[in-house]
Chains A and B, each alone.
Chain A
Amino acid sequence: MEEKIEDLYGYVQERCLWQFFSRTWDRQENIDGVLGKAEQILSGQQPTNETPLEKLHYADAVIMVKDFRERFPWIRECGAAEVKQLMDGLKTRLVETVITKSTNRELSHHLY
């Protein structure tokens, strides 16, 4: 499981700009939003995208999931419980790197 999470983490770090938005709250919102949609898609559900932000997170997630399936074929075999575990693990890694342990001095400034 750890190795699989590392694979996904490596992909997100290299490709996804949404993890590096300007402030902690933007980063958290994107991580929760995109990984939430990804979890739904990977578990075979059709996400409902009602707000503009949900539509955006879906757009980011759907491309990411397609790449996951191409690069990491094992993910196609994962059931809902395993997908949840993977996404939770990925979330923890991302939050640690781009929020809690980031030394970016602008991350918590209340103004943009």
Chain B
Amino acid sequence: MPMVLLECDKDIPERRKHIYLKAPNEDSREFLPIANAATIPGTLSERGCAFCGAKLVIGGVLKDTIQMIHGPLGCAYDTWHTKRYPTDNGHFNMKYVWSTDMKESHVVFGGEKRLEQSIHEAFNEMPEIKRMIVYTTCPTALIGDDIKAVVKKVMKERPDVDIFTVECPGFAGVSQSKGHHVLNIGWINEKVETLEKEITSPYTMNFIGDFNIQGDTQLLQTYWDRLGIQVIAHFTGNGTYDDLRCMHQAQLNVVNCARSSGYIANELKKRYGIPRLDIDSWGFNYMAEGIRKICAFFGIEDKGEALIADEYAKWKPKLDWYKERLKGTKMAIWTGGPRLWHWTKSVEDDLGIKVVAMSSKFGHEEDFEKVIARGQEGTYYIDDGNELEFFEIIDRVKPDVIFTGPRVGELVKKLHIPYVNGHAYHNGPYMGFEGFVNLARDTYNAVYNPLAHLAGIDIRNEIPAQLPERIREAA
């Protein structure tokens, strides 16, 4: 089956290169959607800006770091509180938002003084915090504010603070993906190997690309503690600025989100010889495989097997209860990129769900190679999908549930299709064994909830005597 031109795209035929319907005996050598390319004029993209990729996804997760956003208020507000990454110190990162609140006069006369004042003000207001990331945004990059010079001056005046700069305005790339890249490479160039921490275990690793969404990192940390592995740094779930400066001390880099954080793992391998192990942290089968590989690397296989046996005993019966009821459910996944390939087989193998359509906002072609290799035939693979395309795809594949963000989620609710928050989760964590049971529960609650169906009935018309079979059974 070649690439697909949807009816709604007939006036933007370039979209054909971004949508693939997998047929038997085909693979990504022949049909690989173009990805990480500029959004085509005429489509209403769901993407975020490059600055957002650096701040919202990676930097803003840190639990001890002021995120100073040098720009108008909107850049700060729109990248605050739209992800749920708690911390074990009272959620400092989610409670506060910082901005230099640039106004017209600062744009005209320059914003460096404003930035300098704001940095001092933030440190003075929060004297216990000594770490900061400063971000440029479109307006401050356009007027050429030299944020590095300002930061250098402040660090001279305040020797107890450390500040990192991210120069990645919204227009720097085609999507949030560029921001991931700039932050990764900047951090390894400027901050790694500027600090050493105490080594407390013969086994050390970095866990890269986990963002503690609703406690993912904290749940997985209980496994690493039980295995006696010291995590030098989490990039960046529940993480600290100073831990990330010590990343060079680890023996192994374990990568979950290869898209947002593969760059730093590659550089750590190139510069320090630390090997990179990519794993999937969602799903029973995958999580067990990841733990087995980590343990095989360190030669602690027995500990790994004991942990997996414990977790299976505790959680597998619960998972199977949901599997029995979710078998045959049709799911669509419309998220950032990596969750497409992390999830498509895990929901299929562990829960009997069939993924019928997947769309990525900022995935690269590498992500499509992975997802096409893992995904089913008869499934749509879409790069940078837009609203009209979503409607048309829904018509074609008729999903029972859609994993996506709240914005698209509200949209599909109007079609009486339940959605589960695929970015920030409904009731996570979703990673690990316990987490995947949570995902199964939220999926069950979504597809068995009679409300979506009932809301679609116009009571002025004749009321159908029966609810759909699946919902009757559950009631």
Residues of A close to B274: CB separation below 8 A: 52
- Name which residue of chain A comes closest to B285, CB basis: A15
Closest CB of chain A to B225's CB: distance in Å?
20
Q: Which of B1-9, B166-174, B363-371 contacts A (4 or more CB under 8 A)?
A: B363-371
Q: Give the complex CA separation of A105 and B262 in angstroms.
A: 17
**Per-residue interface assignment for chain B, residues 12 to 43, with 1 indicating a CB less than 8 Å from any chain A CB and 0 otherwise:** 00000000000000011100100010000000
Q: Does residue B73 face the partner (Cβ distance < 8 Å to A)?
A: no
Q: Does residue A60 face the partner (Cβ distance < 8 Å to B)?
A: yes
Q: Which of B61-69, B149-157, B275-283, B377-385 contacts A (4 or more CB under 8 A)?
A: B275-283
Q: Give the complex CA separation of A53 and B289 in angstroms.
A: 19
- Name which residue of chain A comes closest to B34, CB basis: A105
Q: Are B277 and A112 in contact (CB under 8 A)?
A: no
Closest CB of chain A to B329's CB: distance in Å?
21
Q: Which of B185, B296, B365 contacts A106 (CB 8 A)?
A: B365
Q: Are B32 and A103 in contact (CB under 8 A)?
A: yes
Residues of B close to A17: CB separation below 8 A: 258, 278-280, 370
- Name which residue of chain A comes closest to B185, CB basis: A112
**Per-residue interface assignment for chain A, residues 49 to 63, with 1 indicating a CB less than 8 Å from any chain B CB and 0 otherwise:** 000110110111011
**A interface secondary structure, majority:** helix
Q: Which of A102, A105, A112 contacts B266 (CB 8 A)?
A: A112
Q: Does residue B267 face the partner (Cβ distance < 8 Å to A)?
A: yes
Q: Given A22-B262, A102-B28, A102-B369, does the pair A52, B296 have CB atoms closer than 8 Å?
A: no
**B interface secondary structure, majority:** helix
Residues of B close to A68: CB separation below 8 A: none
Q: Give the complex CA separation of A63 and B98 in angstroms.
A: 47
Q: Are B293 and A63 in contact (CB under 8 A)?
A: yes
Q: Are B29 and A59 in contact (CB under 8 A)?
A: no
Q: Given A17-B258, A20-B369, A112-B185, does the pair A58, B296 have CB atoms closer than 8 Å?
A: yes
Residues of B close to A22: CB separation below 8 A: 262-263, 266, 366
Residues of B close to A98: CB separation below 8 A: 369
Q: Are A14 and B373 in contact (CB under 8 A)?
A: yes
Closest CB of chain B to A47's CB: distance in Å?
11
Closest CB of chain B to A25's CB: distance in Å?
10
Residues of B close to A21: CB separation below 8 A: 266, 276, 278
Q: Does residue B292 face the partner (Cβ distance < 8 Å to A)?
A: yes
Q: Does residue A13 face the partner (Cβ distance < 8 Å to B)?
A: yes
Q: Does residue B75 face the partner (Cβ distance < 8 Å to A)?
A: no
Q: Are A59 and B32 in contact (CB under 8 A)?
A: no
Q: Give the complex CA separation of A72 and B370 in angstroms.
A: 23
The interface on chain B, measured as residues whose beta carbon lies within 8 A of the other chain's beta carbons, has a size of 36
Q: Are A52 and B266 in contact (CB under 8 A)?
A: no
Q: Give the complex CA separation of A112 and B182 in angstroms.
A: 11
Q: Given A14-B345, A59-B293, does the pair A101, B32 have CB atoms closer than 8 Å?
A: no
Q: Give the complex CA separation of A100 and B312 in angstroms.
A: 41
- Name which residue of chain B comes closest to A96, CB basis: B29
A19-37 interface with B by 8 A CB criterion = 20-23, 26
Q: Does residue B56 face the partner (Cβ distance < 8 Å to A)?
A: no
Q: Which of A18, A53, A62, A102 contacts B29 (CB 8 A)?
A: A102
**Per-residue interface assignment for chain B, residues 239 to 278, with 1 indicating a CB less than 8 Å from any chain A CB and 0 otherwise:** 0000000000001100000100011001100100111111
Closest CB of chain A to B246's CB: distance in Å?
17
Q: Given A14-B345, A20-B369, does the pair A60, B252 have CB atoms closer than 8 Å?
A: no
Q: Are B364 and A106 in contact (CB under 8 A)?
A: yes
Q: Does residue B297 face the partner (Cβ distance < 8 Å to A)?
A: yes
Q: Give the complex CA separation of A20 and B342 in angstroms.
A: 13
Q: Which of B263, B275, B279, B292 contacts A55 (CB 8 A)?
A: B275
Q: Give the complex CA separation of A104 and B296 in angstroms.
A: 31
Q: Are B266 and A26 in contact (CB under 8 A)?
A: yes
Q: Does residue A97 face the partner (Cβ distance < 8 Å to B)?
A: yes
Q: Give the complex CA separation of A42 and B293 in angstroms.
A: 18
Q: Are A53 and B275 in contact (CB under 8 A)?
A: yes
A57-97 interface with B by 8 A CB criterion = 58-60, 62-63, 96-97
Residues of A close to B275: CB separation below 8 A: 52-53, 55-56
Q: Given A55-B275, A56-B252, A112-B263, does the pair A104, B365 have CB atoms closer than 8 Å?
A: yes
Q: Are A97 and B28 in contact (CB under 8 A)?
A: yes
Q: Does residue B374 face the partner (Cβ distance < 8 Å to A)?
A: yes
Given contacts A14-B345, A20-B370, A52-B275, 5 further A-B contacts (CB under 8 A): A21-B266, A59-B296, A59-B297, A103-B32, A106-B366
List A residues at the B interface (Cβ < 8 Å): 13-15, 17-18, 20-23, 26, 52-53, 55-56, 58-60, 62-63, 96-98, 101-106, 112
